[in-house]
Amino acid sequence: MTGTQPPQLPRSQAGTSSQHLLTTLLGDYWVLRDEHLPSAALVALLGEFDIGLTAARAALNRLARRGVVVSSKVGRNSYYGLAPGASDMLLARGYRFISFGQENESWDGRWTVAMFSLSERERDSRYSVYSRLRWLGFAPLYDGTWVSARPVAEQARQEFDELGLREVTIFRATEHPPSARRAIDAWDLDEIAARYHEFITTYGRLRTQVRDGDVGASQALLSRTHIMDSWRSFPGIDPDLPSNLLPAKWPRREAYEIFVEVYNTLGSLAAIRVRQIVERYSPELAELVTYNTTEDLLDLSRKALERRMAQHAAEGGGTTLDLDATA
């Protein structure tokens, strides 16, 4: 990777990918830090999640090739830290799932519509296009026409620009019912609700343990990472629709409250475990390990997103249409 290319973060996903896990841990306990951590400490951290030595080292090497981390040497020992710009990319990407689940602001009744066409040579970009649009709350209403209830026209334009796609029109418009297929029909709300109920059942039990003080530092690190990993999957399946479009007793709010309580409460204990691991290799660096609450991350990620949007505009990023179809 050249110095002029931006870091290529692992694909947003839930799961046990060692690269994905390592970027999560760095984002949780080492974000916005310039210091490099001993590679042995990072390997040991991954070992807490049953990632073996070979897989852990491979993850470090792959993240280095992608420009997410950079390496340095002190004697014969290797160190790694987040590359310039990687913290902002992690935080900006995190804004979507950290802000997700809060009470929606009043909806103006307009949908963001993205209409696009992929040429034959762009067909390989299909997965990236679809996954990025879903991450922004879009779903396909028709072939090549995706809709979102959120005001994400600028973010969608940025995603298309980053993928090098030009046959794109993005605008904001009001739906005119009745019609054979409504915008909300782009989503399977029953399936989304089932996923929330599964989350509530699983992590509701963990919340009880947390409230009872039955979680130690090692389990706190594992559980805090797992609940974040599970929560971050929801923006890809739930479009964060306004409450007046949703069925009664929609379970998102209950799931969100469980996520916030567990994640925030376990922060200090999880950071203790990370410090214990780093301290084996560098007591000085162990003192720099910290954690952020969801409120902290929301503020940091909002600022990072604003910096990225400003940079995108300064580099000549495309503009978007913001209109009402009745005009």
Span of 39-43, 155-159, 224-228, 268-272 with lowest mean pLDDT: 155-159
Predicted local confidence at residue 14, as pLDDT: 41
Output the average pLDDT for the chain.
87
| Residue listed under structure tokens 């951290």 | 45
Is residue 95 situated within a structural domain?
A: yes
Asked whether the beta carbons of 146 and 99 are under 8 A apart, the reply is no
pLDDT in tens, 109-126: 899 999 998 877 777 778
Domain range holding 15? 1-101+187-315
- Whether residue 287 lies inside any domain: the answer is yes
Q: What is the pLDDT of residue 323?
A: 30
Number of domains in the chain: 1
104 pLDDT tier (thresholds 50, 70, 90)? low
Question: Which residues have C-beta within 8 Å of that of residue 216, sequence separation ≥ 6?
Answer: 269
- How confident is the model at residue 307, as a pLDDT? 86
d(CA 137, CA 104): 13
Residue 237 belongs to some domain of the structure: yes
Distance in angstroms (rounded) separating the CA atoms of residues 285 and 26? 13
pLDDT of 105 above 90: no
Instruction: Report the chain's C-alpha Rg in angstroms.
Output: 21
Residue 46 lies in a domain: yes
134-161 as b/e: b if 16+ CB within 10 A:
bbbbbbebeeeebbbbbbbbbbbbbbbb
CB 295 within 8 A of CB 302: no
Q: Is the pLDDT of residue 156 over 70?
A: yes
251 or 103: which carries more pLDDT confidence? 251
> Which pLDDT score is estimated for 178?
63
Task: Give me the amino acid identity at 302.
Answer: R
CA distance 185 to 239: 12
Query: Burial, 189: exposed, middle or buried (Cβ in 10 Å; 0-12, 13-18, 19+)?
Result: middle
Instruction: Please give the average per-residue pLDDT across 306-320, as a whole number.
Output: 69
C-alpha dihedral, 80 to 85 to 91 to 95, nearest 10°: -150
**pLDDT at residue 125, as a whole number:** 78
- pLDDT higher than threshold 90 for residue 93: no
Distance between CA atoms of residues 28 and 72, nearest Å: 22
pLDDT at 189 over 80: yes
Closest CA to 216 of 169, 268, 168, 161: 268
pTM: predicted TM-score of the whole model, two decimal places: 0.82
316 residue type, one letter: G
The lowest-confidence range among 38-52, 63-77, 192-206 is 63-77
Is 305 a residue whose pLDDT tops 60? yes
Residue 4: predicted pLDDT: 47
253, part of any domain: yes
Q: Has residue 136 been placed in a domain? A: no
pLDDT (average), residues 82-96: 88
DSSP label of 138? -
| 117 part of a folded domain | no
Q: How confident is the model at residue 221 (pLDDT cuts 50, 70, 90)?
A: very high
User: Burial of 18 by CB count in 10 Å (0-12 exposed, 13-18 middle, 19+ buried)?
Assistant: buried
Q: CA torsion sign, 49 to 54 to 56 to 59?
A: negative
Task: Please tell me the predicted confidence (pLDDT) of residue 321.
Answer: 36
Residue 18 has pLDDT above 90, yes or no: yes
Residues 201-216 as b or e (16 or more Cβ within 10 Å = b): eebeebbeebeeeebe
Count of other CB atoms within 10 angstroms of residue 310: 11
Look at residue 321 and tell me if it is in a domain.
no
Higher pLDDT pick, 244 / 222: 222
Residue 182 to residue 276: CA distance in whole angstroms: 54
- Where residue 172 falls (left for φ over 0; alpha for ψ -120 to 50; beta otherwise) is beta
Count of CB atoms within 10 A of residue 38's CB?
18
